[in-house]
């Protein structure tokens, strides 16, 4: 009986170690992960799993947004300028005032978007990586949080989400 318990413990530890290694191997944007862990995970949780009622998960929709110019801009504007008001993601409701992260550099915003889209999302279609020049272009036409929220509705509808 004791041997079976020791074997089971070793098996569980081995599986946990492999799972941890597998996730670590999928991080192609470590700078973005670092920014995400320091700024975003408090609400969106580790790995972007989201927090019911507060912050939506980031493990599916950002990958779908990133393949279209309007979706890419929406992701960037949301990170830069924040957003507040009720939203729905997969029939779940969320209502939180996401703060602005406009103080991040263009490179940091591009890196965190790349981490979310390419490391947290299994499917991102033909989306290309974000770069600082793209972020700089969005920054040239600032929006307030209300406008970011209103544009989100149009982007979601346009993408068929």
The Cα 45–Cα 121 span in angstroms is 15
Q: Per-residue DSSP letters for 73-123?
A: HHHHHHHHH-B-SEEEETTEEEE--BPP-TTS-HHHHHHHHHIIIIIS-S-
Ranges of each domain in the chain: 29-159
Q: So what's the pLDDT on residue 161?
A: 83
> Which structure tokens are listed for 62?
């950002």
Identify the CATH assignment for 29-159 out of 3.30.1780.10, 1.10.1740.10, 1.10.760.10, 1.10.340.30: 1.10.760.10
The pLDDT tens digits along the chain (161 residues) read 544 443 334 333 443 444 444 444 478 999 999 999 999 999 999 999 999 999 999 998 899 999 999 999 999 999 999 998 999 988 899 998 999 999 999 999 999 999 999 999 888 888 999 999 999 999 999 999 999 999 999 999 998 88
pTM listed for this prediction: 0.82
Q: So what's the pLDDT on residue 10?
A: 36
């Amino acid at each position: 009986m004791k041997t079976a318990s020791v074997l089971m413990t070793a098996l569980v530890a081995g599986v946990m170690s492999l799972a941890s290694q597998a996730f670590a191997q999928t991080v192609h944007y470590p700078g973005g992960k670092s920014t995400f862990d320091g700024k975003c995970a408090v609400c969106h949780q580790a790995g972007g799993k989201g927090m019911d009622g507060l912050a939506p998960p980031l493990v599916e929709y950002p990958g779908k947004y990133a393949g279209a110019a309007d979706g890419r801009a929406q992701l960037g504007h949301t990170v830069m300028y924040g957003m507040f008001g009720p939203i729905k993601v997969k029939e779940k409701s969320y209502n939180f005032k996401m703060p602005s992260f406009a103080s991040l550099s263009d490179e940091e915003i591009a890196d965190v978007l790349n981490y979310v889209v390419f490391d947290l999302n299994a499917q991102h279609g033909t989306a290309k990586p974000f770069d600082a020049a793209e972020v700089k272009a969005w920054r040239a036409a600032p929006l307030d949080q209300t406008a970011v929220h209103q544009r989100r509705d149009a982007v979601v509808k346009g993408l068929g989400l």
